[in-house]
Structure 1
């Protein structure tokens, strides 16, 4: 080997490692998701069985939760850019989510459940944009997809563990859902400890001072950001709340104590794919992977529409999880890639606001269709909307190549 060749080998740039802050935020997401999914896995059953709520009412509660979260996500993103500090808002958001865990066990009526869900969703709305802005700020551009994918994967590990704990607790506690809700407060408390003491916001992150942030800038995002939002919106419309997937489990032959296992399966598929798909997107781009995600969503909707046995239902949840793994991390990385540093909070807030309104419409439509026509109809409608979203993205990709 020549000296020059040896020098080239030694001076070749190394691919940067994912920052510790991203790992810590992933663990924060994991712990909060354990808590959330312990509740979410049982809440539709508690609403339908314990409180006598209809599918339409469940769809409305889910939709209202999204509406509350969307407004706070938008405002939180702007405040993050305006203050130049993201971590305090993240602490506030996760703190409200943790406090809501103390309300769910006491809730014995629909209005009390709405209150608890509102607290949780306000917290989620406040924390989402600042958290994503921190991930974007600490991640070099060449590994941004991997960073967002890793955080999503750790988040879904929580989504995997939470329902398992819920199933075990339901069996040990003879179906006492309210006691399971009390247990869900423990991982939420641990989440706050990790966030407060181990997540470090990057030094000099006061982007307002460096870039002269003006409030008007938050309402004049560039065209590239709106293109990403336009791509994400039809995807979100086609994918309604997992609450309807959980209700479908009862029709497929699951007993209430075992229904949370469907979320375990879904999040296993989600978590195992989000990180490798994020890494792959750093090399091959996002459009093709998003088309794959919609292909999985179409297959999931069609499978769940006609699921009459547990095994067919399990296949549908696996396909749903693959859709999530192929789409969720990519959308965050796409926003980060096209947004100026000093507007990241506003961009993520706007993204969450618009897509949240779309999800609200989708949830309300799904609840009405289930209540008025039948349980298969929301899934068949979702398959049709997924196909429309796929054609929309494919046509945009074709126009980009032609241009």
Structure 2
């Protein structure tokens, strides 16, 4: 294990975090305005926004099983991560050329193919680069840097779009594509990591690698994702404040700012008090956030967004650490890819159903539907944690 550290984490973790910062700076500059671009410029219906994100995320997470298994099989993780980031960065340039929301669907799918290829190998690299007693700290450090990029993206996007580009969305997409390639260049400083199971590996995926409690753990996150809508759909809730959605990037900024504030200290707390407590609290705060979103009161939107940020900080990286501690390193990327794949299937159906409920009824019923599923998922999570 290379003991050299930067800002308190292994240098590999630091540079991988920097990769994510640049990438999210680019991607969130684009996708913080995407709901407005789709609905206001291209004339897409609200249900399409939910379908777009859900379908794209499902494809992304299906690929995580393949990329995770391939990374474990080859015992090479960096090359898959570089390939994935490269594919995603290239799609932002081609958004400059679209004139139909169905074309956006195609590019969003390609973008998620890139994400599906990169995430499981990258997460495995973080795990293998970190000391055991600092795993949650490392993952949440990475998530914090990732989210700093996600803060800068919407903020810079909002300023450029409204004050310099005259609401020219396509020119904003072109600028974002340039930033995306900085992420790829940063991989020069990242060292590949290998596990100790390089011999006699089989490429075939087998659910038998998961003991019964982990299968229940995976199922609880599948249920959770059915209720936890894609963020782009959740933030359409601000239409009761701003029907034009011009301020949408600012609400992305608020969400990501509070995630950064929460992520690093929560990582330290998780290393001290354990992953189980943090994950349970994450589910509870997600439920509270959805219940508040369902209330017809505009003053409660920002508190609900802050609670949503807190829930994600309690869940996002920590769910991977818990899984990694309870699975052989031989199947590390495979297991992480499987978890994200199930989460993606849930977001596909959850985003579509939530969007349809929102369209046919209203946002109150949509968020109550999501909250109910989050509550059921919390029950199954508790069952998975029983010894």
TM-score range, shorter chain: over 0.9
Instruction: Work out the CA distance in 1 between the residues paired with 2:220 and 2:205.
Output: 22
Match of 1:8 in 2: none
| Alpha-carbon offset, residue 280 of structure 1 | 1.1
Question: What is the aligned-residue RMSD (CA, Å)?
Answer: 1.9
Match of 2:22 in 1: 31
User: Aligned to 1:256, what secondary structure does the other structure show?
Assistant: coil
Match of 1:106 in 2: 97
Cα deviation digits, residues 283-334 of structure 1 (max 9, x gap): 211222222212221221122222543x422222111111111110111111
User: Aligned to 1:25, what secondary structure does the other structure show?
Assistant: helix
Instruction: Work out the CA distance in 2 between the residues paired with 1:171 and 1:307.
Output: 29
Instruction: Work out the CA distance in 2 between the residues paired with 1:276 and 1:214.
Output: 39
8 A Cα contact 1:31 1:158, kept in partner: yes
Match of 2:3 in 1: none
Instruction: Work out the CA distance in 2 between the residues paired with 1:218 and 1:207.
Output: 20
8 A Cα contact 1:28 1:192, kept in partner: yes
Deviates more, 1:44-53 or 1:228-237: 228-237
Deviates more, 1:281-290 or 1:35-44: 281-290
| Alpha-carbon offset, residue 30 of structure 1 | 1.0
Matched, 1:283 2:272: yes
TM-score, scaled to structure 2:
0.93
| Alpha-carbon offset, residue 28 of structure 1 | 0.7
Could you tell me which of 57, 63, 79 is aligned with 2:54? 63
Could you tell me which of 320, 328, 335 is aligned with 2:316? 328
Cα deviation digits, residues 32-79 of structure 1 (max 9, x gap): 111111111111111111111111122111121022212211111111
Q: 1:151/1:112 Cα in 2 relative to 1: closer, same or farther (>3 Å)? A: same
| Alpha-carbon offset, residue 396 of structure 1 | 4.5
| Alpha-carbon offset, residue 357 of structure 1 | 1.0
Q: 1:348/1:396 Cα in 2 relative to 1: closer, same or farther (>3 Å)? A: closer
Matched, 1:182 2:174: yes
Instruction: Work out the CA distance in 2 between the residues paired with 1:291 and 1:190.
Output: 37
Cα deviation digits, residues 250-278 of structure 1 (max 9, x gap): 22236433211111111111122122212
Match of 1:91 in 2: 82
Instruction: Work out the CA distance in 2 between the residues paired with 1:84 and 1:307.
Output: 52
8 A Cα contact 2:216 2:381, kept in partner: no
Match of 2:346 in 1: 358
Cα deviation digits, residues 131-154 of structure 1 (max 9, x gap): 011011111211111111111111
Matched, 1:194 2:183: no
Structure 2: give runs of 5+ residues left out of the alignment.
Answer: 1-6
User: Aligned to 2:9, what secondary structure does the other structure show?
Assistant: coil
Instruction: Work out the CA distance in 2 between the residues paired with 1:162 and 1:200.
Output: 27
Deviates more, 1:382-391 or 1:175-184: 382-391
Give the greater-gyration-radius structure (CA).
Answer: 1
Matched, 1:146 2:137: yes
Structure 1: give runs of 5+ residues left out of the alignment.
Answer: 1-15
8 A Cα contact 2:216 2:383, kept in partner: no
Match of 1:214 in 2: 202
Matched, 1:73 2:64: yes
Instruction: Work out the CA distance in 2 between the residues paired with 1:307 and 1:201.
Output: 50
User: Structure 1 runs of 4+ off > 6 angstroms?
Assistant: none
